[in-house]
Structure 1
Amino acid sequence: MKNCKNCNTPIKEDSNTCPNCGANVSDTFEPLEEKTELQKLLAEANLARMRGDLNGAIDLCTEALEIEPQNADVHSLLGDIYKAMDNPAEAARWYQMALDINPDSKPDQAKLQEALALASKKKMGEPVTSKGNWMQPIDKIDRAIRYFVLFCAAAVMVLLIIGLTIWVVHSQKEDKTMINNQPAKTGETITKHPQSTQNTSSSPAPPIESPVIGEPEGGTLIRPLVEQTLLSRLATNPNIQQERLVIEDVKFDPRTDKIEVTMRFSDRPTVLTRIVVRKAEAVAATAAYEASSEAKMVTIRTLVSMPGKYASGEPKLVHICDVPRSITSVDISKADDAVLSRIFLNEWWDTEIGL
C-alpha cells in the first residue's frame, strides 16, 4: 500500500492516480510505515469521511491543524467534508484557504468553483444536484433510510406487476366466457312453396319439403316477434286443441301479408280422408285469421304420420293449399267436401298416400 502525497489517501500499489484528488502518485508516495503523525491524522480523517463519519473527520482534521496550521491538504479535506455535509459555502471557504496556502493546486481550484456554484444555487433557492453517488450515505441512519426507500420502491413495483398479471388473466377468462355464452346465429330456413293450379285432376311434381319443422336439433329456431305471437295464439286456440292439431311452424311474409302454417294431427285419425284433412285445415286457417287481422291469405301445410306405410314413422307432407279469408264465414262443422274444395285454392295432394 502507498499514500497520496497531496491528500494522504491510501492507494493500491498498482495505481498511479489518487482516487480522491486525481494527482499522479507514480513517483510521489510514501510507505504507510513511514507516515508522520500529521499524515496519519489526514488518512484517518479521509477514511472517516468516506465512511460517512463526517463529524469524526472534522475532529481529526482539527487535530491535524493543531500540528500544522498551514497545511493545504487539511484545509482541502475540510472543504470536502463540508461539501459532503451539504454546506457548499463553508466548503468554499476552506478551499479558498487551501488555495491561499497552495495557489497552484488545480484540484482545489476546481473544487472551489464547484462549491461556489453550489452555494450560489442554494442561496437562490434552486435545487442543488451533487455529483456524488446517491447511494453514498452520509451516516448510518442515512444509509438505513435510503435502503428502506429502495425496499419500499421495489415492493411497490412487485405488487404492481402481480396486480397487472392478475388483471390480464381475469380479462382473458371473461373474454372466453363471453365467447362461449354467445348464442350462435341461426339463419331462417327458406321454404319453397309448390307450384300448383286449381285443377286438382293434374298431378304436379311434389314440393320440396323444408328440412326444418318446428325447432331444429341442437338449438331454438329464431323467429321474428310477429311469428312468435302467431305461433303462441294458434297453439292456444281452443278449436285447434279440440281438433287435436299440433302447430309445427308459422311464417309470416310482410310483403304479401301471407301466413304459412305447418300443422299435423297429434294422433292419426281413424279414418283419414280428404274431407277430414280439409276440415282440420279450415279450422287452422280460421284461427290464423283470428290471430292476425292483417293477413290476406293463409297457406296450410298438413303433415300426417304414416307408421304403417313408412318404416321411419316420420310425418309425411300430404296436402298444401291456400285458404282465403272467406273461410271465416263458413260453418265448418256443416260444410261438406264440395264446399271446402271450392274455397281452397292452389291445392296439392300427395298421390302416394291415396287420399
Structure 2
Amino acid sequence: MRQCPDCKIILDDDVRHCPKCGRGLGANTPSTGHDISTLLTSANLHRIRSEWDKAIADATEALRLDPKNPDITSLIAGVYEERGMLDEALVWYQMALELKPDSDADKARMDAISAKIAAKRKAAGTDSFRVFEKRTKLWAAVLGSVFVIVVVLAMFSLFPHHKQAHPVRPIHPSSAHSSVNVYAMKSGSSEQAAPHLGMSDSGKSTSTASESGGSLRIPAEVYIRSEIANAQDVSETGASVDDVVVDPRIADVIVTFSVPIKGNITKDQILRAAVAISRKTFQINPEVKFVTARCVITTGGPKGVQIAFIGDIARVTLESLPANTTDQQAATYFTRVFWNPQIR
C-alpha cells in the first residue's frame, strides 16, 4: 500500500496516478511504513476486503511502532473476530482493555465473544454427551438382552422338567363302575388285574387290600414292590425296597428304599439306586407318569431311621434321555431334591 503525498489517500502499490489529484506516482514511492495512521488506514482497507493476513500484518507493524495504542489492539481484535477466530479475538480485546480500561465498546465486544465461545463449547459438549448417551443406551440394551438369555438358559438347565401342577390324566378310573382297570399288572405273558383303588358301591373299603410290614397296602402297591425288589438292576445297587405307595391323582408312585451301610454312604450310591428303581417302576406300568424316590437309612443311634434323599423324576424326562446316558447323568434330572446334610 502507498499514500499520495498530496491527497494523503491510501492507494495500492501498483497505482501509478492518484485518482483524486492526478499526481503521478512512481513505481518506487511506496509508503514509508513509519506512519501509524497510514498503516491503520491500510489495515482497515484490507479488513473491508476480507484480506485478513494483510490487515493483521499492517496492524501488527503499527503496534510495533506504538505498543501502547489501544486502538491498534482493538483493530487486531476486530479482524480476528470477523475472521471467526474468537479465541484470538478475546485475547486482543483483553489487551485493549488493559491499555484502556474505560473502553465500553471493547468491553461489550469481549463479553459478546465470551458468550459465543461458552455457547459453542456447551453445544460441542452436549453433542458429545448425546453421542455417549446413545451409545450407552445401545450397549445397555444389548447387555440386557444377553443377561435375559443367560438367565433363561440357566433356569432351563437347572429345572429341565417340572412336575405338572394339575394331572393331565388321572391313573385311577373316573368312576367306581368303570370296567377299565388301569392298574392291571403284567405277570409273564398274561395280565394280572388288580382291584380298583377307590371305594365299593356300598361305601366300604375294597377287601383286596393287604397288610404288609404293618402298613395297609393295596395289591397294586404290593405287586410293584415285589417287581422292583426282584429286578436285577435294582439288586445290583444293593438297595432294598421297603414300601410303595401309589398316588393316582397325579400318576405318581412313591418308592421308599434303603441302601446297605458299608462305611460312609455316598450320594452316588443313593442316586444309582434311585435311578434303577425309577426305570423299573416306569417299565412295570406305562400309566405311571412320575416316581418319587425316597431313601431312608438306619443309623442305629438315638435318631433311628432318617431320610437320606427324596427326589422326583418324570417318565418323559427319563425316556427322553439318550440310550448311552449313565445313571450318574440321569440322576441330575431329579427335581425337588432333598438331601440329608450328613450325606456327602
TM-score range, shorter chain: 0.3 to 0.5
Q: Which TM-score applies when normalising by structure 1? A: 0.34
Q: Max radius of gyration: which structure? A: 1
